[in-house]
Chains A and B, each alone.
Chain A
Amino acid sequence: MADQKASTLIEAVESGLAAQGYIASRQIATAVYLSQQIEKPILVEGPAGVGKTELAKAIAAWRGMKMIRLQCYEGLDEAKALYEWKYAKQLLYTQILKDKLGEVLGGAQTLHAALDQLHDFGDVFFSKEFVEPRPLLQALEQPGGCVLLIDEIDKSDAEFESLLLEILSDFQVTIPELGTVSAITPPTVILTSNSERDLGDALKRRCLHLHIGFPEQRLEERIVESRVPGISQTLRRQMVGFIHEIRSLDLKKLPSVSETIDWARVLVLLQASELDTDIVKDTLNVLLKYEADIEAAAPQVTTFIAKAARSNVFG
């Protein structure tokens, strides 16, 4: 019985994401379902532009939760990712409270007594009011839970990974002056990586590992359908077929889903009804981002269009 329930629940995830315009493969839906059930972050890897970041946005929109995004870059550190003390505010308050402090300490006869009295105030200036929460801490403090997107983790330094470990496994952070802050509701964490460098095993171990590659032809057609509603079915098939042919070439940067969608928009704008050599050659720069790639692909355009059209007849 439990098995039956699981597959319907996974389908529910699929349709929920689809309602937000994100057409997920079964594997993606399973990952999202599992991450929710066993409270694990998802590490999404794959080439640029296959919808890794979109996935997080779609989950947030579907569940009606806030999305908190942490964009990683080289040199990102604790103060920018986790929390920071509001130094200026601390300074200002000490200035304002100077007189007050004088009053409080006025009664003390000796230095020792003054110190004791001061101790009674505890760490007034190192309390929650003076903490400036950065994305990671913000995510833990959301009462209704949230989607935390840690984008392009491979761009950050290796030390930053270690900083994340506590959050990823226990959903808590430790601030030396305040103690441990645990999540009110564990956030859904999505990490994305373009595999620019290998991530540490410790980080990988704490995550579900999802690899999103280029989608199959059918799936990509559905994605285009949901993102660019104005496009005709024939053109959609032809263009997706064409892009699949392009991906078989040895290029510097293969066109991914985001390029497919851009190209579909361009074709709709140009009011093309079907692919022909001229229009493809004119718009090839939407698909391919390197001059060398365009040069390599240009001679093949006619053959690819023919191939795409032929597969269209049978498909």
Chain B
Amino acid sequence: MRENLHRFFRAARGAGVHVSPAESIDAMRAVAQVGMSDRAVLRDALLLTLAKSQDEKLALGDCFDLFFSQPEPRQDQPEADNNDAPQDADQPPFSGAPGDAGKGRPPEGLGPLAQMLLSQDRNAIAAAIAGASGAASLSDIRYSTQRGIFSSRILEAMGLQRLRDDLDGLTATNPALAERLRAALDALRETVRDTVSQGLALYAREEAENLRNEILRNAPLARIERRHIAEMRALIRQIARRLRERYSKPRKRQRRGHLDVRRTLRRNAAWGGVPFLTAWKRKHRDRPKIVALCDVSGSVAQVSDFFLLLIHSLHEVVDDVRSFAFSSHLIEVSDILESKSPEEAMSEIMSKVGFGSSDYGSSLVDFEKEFMSTLTPQTTVIVLGDARSNNLDPRADILRRISDRSKRLVWLNPEGRLAWGFGDSEMPRYATFCSVVRQCATAQQLERAVSDIVATYQ
């Protein structure tokens, strides 16, 4: 029973339910109370102890149904073999005369697997498969390419070698029986293959997902394949959630600063200046204010897509975000991002300003003309772009004024450091006015960059 539950916990983790050791102990204790016989009660008990939110309950419920749709592996395999004899009686004849010949008196000298197959005892076969998958540690399966090796390991553990010998022997002595055995073996192979596929679905999910996420996290955003975009979006959303959890909790205690002597004396004037009541200065903390300028020209469109998505999801942490998008001219996109779903917002922004050739100079002019007043000494300005201005006037002087007006100016460039300054890249000229310039090509770098920006306001 314990073995089974452990495998279930592993499967549950694969399904995205967070099962800590403490929770698994609770689940064990709960199962010890309710027993395994009543499946509905068992399901309830596991759902109660392991899943801690409605989503997790759904996932765990599905996982439970999948897990227990396969026969329970029984550790007591010899016993299952012994059960063969009484069950023979109620098995319907397999087919015609040769079946009758085989039934009733299993041919002498055959291995246990051959006897089991010939007697058509489904329960015993299922139990044997389950036992063998335990022996072959099917729960360690990780990748779909391992299916073959696990299937053959299971068959090996069930005694395939002996069965082959039996087959060879029978082909000579009893061809009809050998034919039947061969058919049964094929059926067995199929069943084992199904079992392994199910095992893969149950146990491999966790590992495969982790691996894929790890790869995606470090993949250059600009070169992500189309089919990975949805997954990437999910990953970005995860990052946003993590940032939100880390930074949205108010931290109270740190706010008390030095003793405010003047207010303390005034408040305690009634006691002759003996300080019964103390008054403290409060540390001033800036409200996060972020202005994001995002290049959406053809060359960096995909990266900025993800960046806008992150900004979109970050609205809950930072109250005051204003976002602008530009390629040849600049528009404000805060309203679009706030009022629409991410997908709609992206396509609307792209249709308005996207995919043009970039002109940093005129975009900065647009910004200075209309939105310069949004910058305050508390503002962090983030610019996302490759600084490739098609040899047009970069207007670095405007960037200097932006930098002067704001608290910090952070430039995130999706290109590698090596490419800066080559061709039409104006990065070195802009970099002199930026507080921070960093490369930001992968999801991980994006997360670090945004995390650092938000952290300065804590």
| A interface residues, Cβ below 8 angstroms from B | 2-4, 6-7, 10, 26-27, 30-31, 33-34, 37-38, 40, 45, 158, 201, 204-205, 208-211
Contact = CB atoms under 8 A, between A and B. Distances in A.
A209 B52 CA distance: 6
B49 interface: yes
Contact of B44 (A2, A30, A45, A201): A30
A205 B52 contact: yes
A93 B40 CA distance: 61
Q: How large is the interface on B (under 10, 10 to 19, 20 to 34, 35 or more residues)?
A: 20 to 34
A158 B251 CA distance: 11
Given A30-B45, A205-B20, A208-B49, A38 B26 contact: yes
A120 to B, nearest CB: 31
B175 interface: no
A208 B38 contact: no
B51 interface: yes
A37 B34 CA distance: 10
Interface string B36-52: 11101100110111011
Contacts of B30: 34, 37-38
Contacts of B22: 205
Given A38-B26, A38-B29, A211-B57, A3 B36 contact: yes
Nearest to B36: A3
B40 A6 contact: no
Nearest to A27: B44
A61 B54 CA distance: 29
Interface centre among B22, B23, B26, B48 (most CB of A within 10 A): B48
A30 B49 contact: no
B52 A3 contact: no
A2 to B, nearest CB: 5
Nearest to A213: B54
B53 A34 contact: no
Contact of A208 (B36, B48, B54, B249): B48
Nearest to B252: A159
B34 A3 contact: yes
A6 B48 contact: no
Nearest to B49: A208
A34 B28 CA distance: 12
B203 to A, nearest CB: 24
B112 interface: no
A299 B30 CA distance: 49
Nearest to B253: A159
A6 B30 CA distance: 11
Given A6-B35, A34-B49, A205 B29 contact: no
B102 to A, nearest CB: 38
25 contacts: A2-B35, A3-B35, A3-B36, A6-B35, A7-B41, A10-B41, A27-B48, A30-B45, A30-B48, A34-B30, A34-B34, A34-B45, A37-B29, A37-B33, A38-B26, A38-B33, A40-B26, A158-B249, A201-B52, A204-B53, A209-B48, A209-B49, A209-B53, A210-B48, A211-B57
A26 B40 contact: yes
A211 B44 CA distance: 11
Contacts of B23: 205
Contacts of A37: 29-30, 33
A22 B212 CA distance: 48
Contacts of A27: 44, 47-48
A205 B22 CA distance: 8
B244 to A, nearest CB: 11
Contacts of A158: 249
A33 B29 CA distance: 13
Contacts of B26: 38, 40, 208
Given A2-B35, A38-B33, A211-B54, A31 B20 contact: no
Interface centre among A4, A30, A40, A205 (most CB of B within 10 A): A30
Contacts of B35: 2-4, 6
A2 B37 CA distance: 9
B336 to A, nearest CB: 24
A34 B26 CA distance: 10
A180 to B, nearest CB: 21
Interface centre among A26, A33, A34 (most CB of B within 10 A): A34
Contacts of A201: 18, 52
A201 B48 CA distance: 15
Nearest to B57: A211
Contacts of B41: 6-7, 10, 26, 30
Contacts of A26: 40-41, 44
B100 to A, nearest CB: 40
Given A6-B33, A26-B41, A205-B23, 4 more contacts: A3-B37, A31-B48, A201-B52, A208-B26
Nearest to A42: B48
Contacts of A30: 34, 41, 44-45, 48
A201 B53 CA distance: 11
A101 B48 CA distance: 58
A181 B36 CA distance: 37
